[in-house]
Structure 1
């Protein structure tokens, strides 16, 4: 009997709190923040098949590439103490040179320009 009363009390209290939160909350069904476009320019209420800016996609990919670059370079600095200095220097040089050449290519092909 005590378990039944405890579960009924818990249900009534939780339903009461949910009802009070719904009444008290300031949100509307057409919330202004939900109706604004996302950062990438998509309108959340329109069709998903509308073409989007390829420039935004390219900038996002560049950000991911350089984010991964940082995640790889931090352990390289830590392993410098425990590895052979010539092997470490050659590996680091090849890695950084590849990244700089990629950045140079992106710069020369105007992939970093937001508007043309």
Structure 2
């Protein structure tokens, strides 16, 4: 049983050893010319202006969380769509319709709460 996993362990070991060796060689051989210009943050080729510690509005996080929820919806729908023919017709459709209706109810709630409305009130 364990013998069948031996090639996988060998490949993973070789990958780890190769990564460590190549990173070590780069660290040893690479130039070490640190100067203040090289240590500044890179902002699209322009000099940094202002503080990098600016506050971000909570709405960005809210939109990100909503995106993740609806993105996971697609992850659940894809296997269902692939195996739809193997499901027993109407009985395979009922759970997905229920799932989509629950998600639409959540979307309706988001719209009613105006979570996606960016206008200042």
- Give the corresponding residue for 2:38: 28
Rounded Cα–Cα distance in structure 2 between residues aligned with 1:13 and 1:92: 53
Tell me the CA shift for residue 36 of structure 1. 7.5
Question: Residue 95 of structure 1 corresponds to which residue in structure 2?
Answer: 99
Within 2, Cα distance between the matches of 1:13 and 1:105?
A: 54
CA gap 1:108/1:14 in 2 versus in 1, 3 angstroms: closer
Higher relative contact order (CA 8 A, sep 6+): 2
Structure 1 unmatched runs, 5+ = 1-10
Deviation at 1:30, TM superposition (A): 1.2
Give, in angstroms, the shift of residue 28 of structure 1.
1.8
Q: Taking structure 2 as the reference length, what is the TM-score of the superposition?
A: 0.61
Per-residue deviation, 1:114: 2.6
What TM-score does the superposition give when structure 1 sets the normalisation length?
A: 0.63
- The root-mean-square deviation of aligned C-alpha atoms, in Å, is 3.5
Please, which of 13, 18, 39 is the counterpart of residue 30 of structure 2? Answer: 18
